[in-house]
Structure 1
Amino acid sequence: MRTFVHGTAVWGVACPRRPSRVAGVTMAGFRVRELDTLRMVPHPAVTLLVEFGGGTPVMDHAAGRQQRGSVVAGPGFGSGGAVRARGENVECVQVRLSPAIARAVLDVSPADLDGTVVALDDLWGREASRLRERLSEIASWQERFALLDALLARRHEAGPTVDPEVAWAWQRIVAGRGLVRIDGLAAEVGWSRKRLWSRFRSQIGLPPKRAVKLVRFDHAAHRLVAGEGAARVAADAGYADQSHLHRDVVAFTGVTPATVAGEPFLAVDDLAWPNREICAGRT
């Protein structure tokens, strides 16, 4: 386990030594003594958070609702800066699932999550509590990753798949970092626009236009965290101008690009997920 230090944030971070058996699955382990109001930044993946330590992470929503413990969040969760995470003595494994395989692994469509968060117990029942118990009994992070990966692989093999055309369209968006002509996707797969838009929304959880904006934002936000100037990022990431980038960042996070550049949620990615494209589903 390595130590991540960013301002006042100090976290222990563990990464698997081997890639997942399932393409589009990545994970990282976190040990945080004090998690202090961490802004949740939207990400182009379905997030599975499994806690197993003595502490319990808490998610505070802008409307006053709270969510505790292990959760599943849809792609784009946290838009508008509406969700903060906190807790003490938190130990957890965070899994990022490509939306193209999330339905098979979770037994629920990303569209049913609709950018929100649900308790893992509500989806998996007793299996969720058994998983937490087994993770807490294991001392090694690598063994924890292996246990969880085996479970995800079994569920993926038994679960329903998305249409190949839908999976291909999602991977085109991710590979192009959001710089694709969405009107041309239907023609490339040989479907009508109406059919692709309907299937994509129901199976990925986002309409194609929203998916393009989310993937483009994620790429731009990480470049801001890396220290690149907003004008350069806007030009390279396909925004019309710096004001366009500013509006998109505020819409997704509720704060300005300068503030996003200092977000620990994004800064830890270079350590926890060095290959972010695979996290989103570019396989």
Structure 2
Amino acid sequence: MVLSLSPLNCSRPTMALRRLVGHYWASAGGANAVYPALPDGAVDLVIEILPSSFQSWLYGTTTVRTIFPLDSQARYIGIRFRPGCSRHFMRIAARELTDRHEPAQDVLRFPLAEFAERSAEGDWAVGLDDLLSRYLARQPPRTNAIDRAVDLIESRRDTIRIREVASYVGKSQRQFERDFLENVGISAKLFASIIRFRHAARLIRDGMPIAAVAADTGYADQSHLSHEFKRLAGVSPRRFPREAVDFLQDRV
């Protein structure tokens, strides 16, 4: 079977939601279409809309490159929550979804039926803004120490010591590591590795020599960088630019 990548349309949420939501995305299935996803620490709400029905799932963050098949008859709409922020919308911890998915009705805090009906008639991104805004008006979100930790790790994009992050947010390292896993779904160490990997991947896509990328992003050497790419992307750094796979965050 020949597999093809499904084109995605991405949209940013309204400003009031950007603290919690990275972006929305939409795709049509198409014949034999698949979507390859790279690890990024995010949880996705995925809505599959068929001609006479709809289904929805919450997909946890992944730790390896993952291929998702798409139904050729379906339309897909998704919400990519920022790392650690799915807790505002789910009844379970993010760690319970890592490398897994569950039917949305089992874990989501609000119903989707009304949105699925409206999305066929109007602007799906506006519909998602409205859906989330109405829910958060009833359940206002509160920031926590893990939100600050995620911001710090994302801003560094290179080597960072986990005990330094724990100290920054005012927690013991042991408590911080437990809380991070609970909220984000992966360890803080793995999340920091993924953020550094994402930064390196962008530089390689932009044409920077691999040795220079390794030095710029804090890898011990080119061999270390290559090992991380094979672990997280399933391919070598040299092959990566030719792969039809990227991060949804880079499309908006």
TM-score by length of 2: 0.82
User: Compared with structure 1, are the counterparts of its residues 256 and 146 closer, same or farther at alpha carbon in structure 2 (3 Å cutoff)?
Assistant: same
Shift in Å, 1:10? 6.3
CA distance in 1, matches of 2:139, 2:219: 38
Q: Give the structure 2 partner of residue 204 of structure 1.
A: 184
CA distance in 2, matches of 1:205, 1:247: 23
Q: Give the structure 1 partner of residue 42 of structure 2.
A: 45
TM-superposition CA deviations, 1:21-54 (whole Å, max 9, x none): 3423121222353353433221221122222244
CA distance in 2, matches of 1:124, 1:44: 19
CA distance in 2, matches of 1:164, 1:12: 32
Shift in Å, 1:74? 1.9
Q: Give the structure 2 partner of residue 85 of structure 1.
A: 69
TM-superposition CA deviations, 1:72-128 (whole Å, max 9, x none): 2222x1x33353433324422222111332110233321221232222233249923
Q: Indicate whether 1:100 and 2:84 are aligned.
A: yes
TM-superposition CA deviations, 1:202-222 (whole Å, max 9, x none): 222222111111211222223
Q: Indicate whether 1:118 and 2:102 are aligned.
A: yes
Identity %: 23
Give SS of 1:70's match.
Answer: strand
Aligned residue pairs, count: 249
> Structure 2 residue aligned with 1:15, among 11, 16, 31?
11
Q: Give the structure 2 partner of residue 74 of structure 1.
A: 60
Q: Which amino acid is 1:51 matched to?
A: E
Q: Which amino acid is 2:99 matched to?
A: G
Q: Indicate whether 1:28 and 2:25 are aligned.
A: yes
CA distance in 2, matches of 1:240, 1:259: 20
> Structure 1 residue aligned with 2:206, among 222, 226, 246?
226
User: Compared with structure 1, are the counterparts of its residues 226 and 53 closer, same or farther at alpha carbon in structure 2 (3 Å cutoff)?
Assistant: farther
Consecutive unaligned residues of structure 2, counting only runs of 5 or more, are: none
- Do 1:80 and 1:250's aligned partners in 2 also have CA atoms closer than 8 Å? no
Q: Which amino acid is 1:47 matched to?
A: D
Higher normalized helix content (fraction of residues): 1
Mapping 1:135-154, distance limit 5 Å: 135-136=119-120, 138=121, 140=122, 143-154=123-134
TM-superposition CA deviations, 1:174-211 (whole Å, max 9, x none): 11124322121222223221221222222222221111
TM-score by length of 1: 0.74
How much is the aligned-residue C-alpha RMSD, in angstroms?
A: 3.1
Q: Give the structure 2 partner of residue 245 of structure 1.
A: 225
User: Compared with structure 1, are the counterparts of its residues 234 and 115 closer, same or farther at alpha carbon in structure 2 (3 Å cutoff)?
Assistant: same
- Do 1:103 and 1:161's aligned partners in 2 also have CA atoms closer than 8 Å? no
